[in-house]
Chain A
């Protein structure tokens, strides 16, 4: 056994650090560090910088413009990018759609869509969930009916993250209403500017309109936008769920959040002394750090298994569970650390540029909104209740 990274991996980490030090714009990393709200331009700017370096699509094969990284390399990049407060890369095109196209799409689809994802010409969003189909995704109702060389799509998707920036949406739609519910679903690519597609923003508990409802009213979609075979969409969706679950534990995010909480705790005072010296706060912080140290190794164990070619089983559910609990606890600690400073709502600071002065402490405006926003981690991507069921079933059956 050897917990150390190989020399090649250490060299890679160094290369990533140097790249981030020279190429990550300071104004962007400041926004991320202060938990400000990122707009489309911010994401696209970072995507373009990564794409110039050839690092935008870590898991894609080299010949499609990917980085061809191993799971461990991806992990190292994510860790370093988080610590440097780089924006996250928007996953919908890069880590959700592209792997499905590479595995099940036609050559024409791969050649058409992948370059446009890299260039930023297309911004994809994910149209799976519906008002009546959340955890029970297979009960989705959005209908696609074949009409010559088109499908006519009617129905509604919801919780569509950053759909307001997207020009494309990949959807699960029902093509055979008479089949068993998992068997009548197809995977369809839809242009958001097709007549009949409308979008309504949903404001979340933190005041941000991060998700949307998307309505389809007699939307005509060319049949060549079908991915793979008709009625096989569920298989593709599941493939995506089991194979693109790197960073599900969010170790990098947690490391960065831990560093932020530590810094704040050394800057704010309680009873005239730094909060970091208060035994009650110190105990909370130490407890999460201890959990995170172990979880980071769990994550590496699973990465090592993935490098050896083993498909992850219930371990990825465990990582999702533990990882989200730790991330949520860290947002809660940041809010606690700031004490009364966490109370004021400061949307101008969160939306604004550099010239809005924060009240209380520079990390104060983002703290409570991030805490509330991050409640989503245990709801989406398969809720934590669903993950527990998966883990239990893997040992108890049923």
Chain B
């Protein structure tokens, strides 16, 4: 067993961390958000130039990574810095674009953004819940499309046969966002990230991803990658929230001494540290099983998303509480991480969804 990072991964992590330390802080992030821009395009390009996106794709696709540990390392580093930039779409799209070398090249360079348009307004977290129809043009609505208003292409799930909740009969299509019949409404999320609602009206769909009707398995694979990425990002945000809290406990004085000397808070930070280690192990579990057979991989997907979701809410709530009033202000960095920690549970299935799914996958 070896939990150390290879030299190459360590170098990538170091260069990303250094670049982020120099180019992103809470004030800059707030300026970006206040400007109405969805994210800092220069920062995105700069991170792409460092190989952030290349690390999400395997060598045969023109990248230099793409394994579970690569994804985990990149996203933990991004999460710790609290980036708003569109990396999650690349993690989602990577396993789906094996036949699209040219597009992948543009993604790696940061010139194209390909995102998944899957969730429908009433679908909640069920991957099979697709009613947008492909007969053969696409008509229907997708929501929570990550960076949908900035994307150059969408991978759209659509139903060709079967009923609304049927895993069979779902197909995937690659569509440029300037295709006729698309109405894209940009959304800013509560945590500052961007998404969109996309309405399709008789939109032409010529480029398939995978076999007709076999999209569900691909969606699972893509979602497994995205859940690893998001869980690692969440782990990074936990670390950031913990660091702020630790520093504050030592610095803030009440009743003539640092509040970190009160045992009531000492025990709480101890619990927080313990739970974050659990979250780290859960992320490693999924990273190590990303290429495992479907049933094994999916058990880890649900286990990790459930555990990380629980710990994320605990860390956010406890960090704010231990800060007192200051923890509730927009001006203070913690508020960004706290929102990200909590809202991540609303993407790709929340703690309850994955608990139920884990029981199911375990034969329950």
**Which residues of A line the B interface, CB within 8 A?**
129, 132, 134-136, 139, 158-159, 202-205, 207, 211, 268-272, 275, 278, 280-281, 284, 332, 335-336, 339-340, 342-345, 359-360, 368-369, 371-372, 375-376, 378-380, 383-385, 388-389
Q: Are A336 and B352 in contact (CB under 8 A)?
A: yes
Chain A positions within 8 Å of B247 at CB level: none
Chain A positions within 8 Å of B188 at CB level: 344-345
B356–chain A nearest beta-carbon distance, Å: 5
The CA-CA distance from A38 to B3 in the complex, in Å, is 53
Q: Are A278 and B352 in contact (CB under 8 A)?
A: yes
Contacts A205-B338, A343-B190, A379-B324; A271 near B129 (Cβ below 8 A) = yes
Q: Are B144 and A343 in contact (CB under 8 A)?
A: yes
The CA-CA distance from A314 to B107 in the complex, in Å, is 61
Q: Name 22 interchain pairs, CB-CB below 8 A, sorted by A.
A: A135-B255, A203-B329, A204-B328, A204-B330, A205-B327, A269-B124, A280-B355, A280-B356, A336-B345, A336-B350, A339-B124, A340-B125, A340-B144, A343-B187, A343-B189, A343-B346, A359-B187, A371-B342, A372-B342, A375-B320, A379-B327, A385-B262
Chain B positions within 8 Å of A129 at CB level: 325
B246 CB–A CB distance under 8 Å: no
Q: Are B190 and A368 in contact (CB under 8 A)?
A: yes
Q: Are B164 and A339 in contact (CB under 8 A)?
A: no
Q: A284's closest neighbor in chain B, by CB?
A: B352
* Number of A-B residue pairs with CB-CB distance less than 8 Å in the complex they form: 135
| Chain B contact surface mostly | mixed
Chain B positions within 8 Å of A280 at CB level: 352, 355-356
Interface positions, chain B 296-344, Cβ under 8 Å from A, are 313, 317, 320-321, 324-325, 327-331, 335, 338-339, 342-343
The residue from A269, A270, A340, A384 contacting B321, defined by CB atoms under 8 A apart: A384
Contacts A204-B329, A280-B352, A345-B189; A134 near B324 (Cβ below 8 A) = yes
Contacts A345-B189, A384-B321; A268 near B124 (Cβ below 8 A) = yes
The CA-CA distance from A332 to B351 in the complex, in Å, is 13
B264 CB–A CB distance under 8 Å: yes
B90-132 CB mask vs A (1 if < 8 Å, else 0) is 0000000000000000000000000000010110111001000
Q: Are B335 and A205 in contact (CB under 8 A)?
A: yes
The residue from A158, A203, A271, A368 contacting B330, defined by CB atoms under 8 A apart: A203
Chain A positions within 8 Å of B122 at CB level: 268-269
Interface size on B, residues (CB 8 A): 49
Q: Are B324 and A135 in contact (CB under 8 A)?
A: yes
Q: Are A385 and B265 in contact (CB under 8 A)?
A: yes
Q: Are A343 and B124 in contact (CB under 8 A)?
A: no
Chain B positions within 8 Å of A388 at CB level: 264
Q: B30's closest neighbor in chain A, by CB?
A: A203
A343–chain B nearest beta-carbon distance, Å: 5
Q: Are B325 and A159 in contact (CB under 8 A)?
A: yes
A264–chain B nearest beta-carbon distance, Å: 12
Q: B344's closest neighbor in chain A, by CB?
A: A343
B347 CB–A CB distance under 8 Å: yes
Q: B126's closest neighbor in chain A, by CB?
A: A271
Q: Are B264 and A385 in contact (CB under 8 A)?
A: yes
A167–chain B nearest beta-carbon distance, Å: 24
Chain B positions within 8 Å of A376 at CB level: 325, 328
The CA-CA distance from A270 to B352 in the complex, in Å, is 11
A382–chain B nearest beta-carbon distance, Å: 12
Q: Are B125 and A339 in contact (CB under 8 A)?
A: yes
Q: Are B264 and A136 in contact (CB under 8 A)?
A: no
B143 CB–A CB distance under 8 Å: yes
The residue from B124, B256, B320, B330 contacting A207, defined by CB atoms under 8 A apart: B330
The CA-CA distance from A203 to B195 in the complex, in Å, is 24
A370–chain B nearest beta-carbon distance, Å: 11
The residue from B129, B262, B356 contacting A272, defined by CB atoms under 8 A apart: B129
The CA-CA distance from A360 to B121 in the complex, in Å, is 7
Chain B positions within 8 Å of A132 at CB level: 253
B308–chain A nearest beta-carbon distance, Å: 16
Contacts A359-B197, A375-B328, A380-B325; A345 near B124 (Cβ below 8 A) = no
The CA-CA distance from A359 to B253 in the complex, in Å, is 44
Q: Are B187 and A205 in contact (CB under 8 A)?
A: no
B251-273 CB mask vs A (1 if < 8 Å, else 0) is 00111100000101100000000
Q: Are B329 and A270 in contact (CB under 8 A)?
A: no
Chain A positions within 8 Å of B335 at CB level: 205
B165 CB–A CB distance under 8 Å: yes
The CA-CA distance from A125 to B99 in the complex, in Å, is 64
Q: B334's closest neighbor in chain A, by CB?
A: A205
Chain B positions within 8 Å of A385 at CB level: 262, 264-265
Most chain B CB inside 10 Å of its own CB: which residue of A202, A205, A271, A284? A205
B22–chain A nearest beta-carbon distance, Å: 27
Q: Are B190 and A375 in contact (CB under 8 A)?
A: no
Chain A positions within 8 Å of B189 at CB level: 343-345
Chain B positions within 8 Å of A281 at CB level: 352
The CA-CA distance from A58 to B339 in the complex, in Å, is 38
Most chain B CB inside 10 Å of its own CB: which residue of A139, A344, A371? A344
Most chain A CB inside 10 Å of its own CB: which residue of B189, B190, B264? B190
Chain A positions within 8 Å of B255 at CB level: 135-136, 139
B65–chain A nearest beta-carbon distance, Å: 29
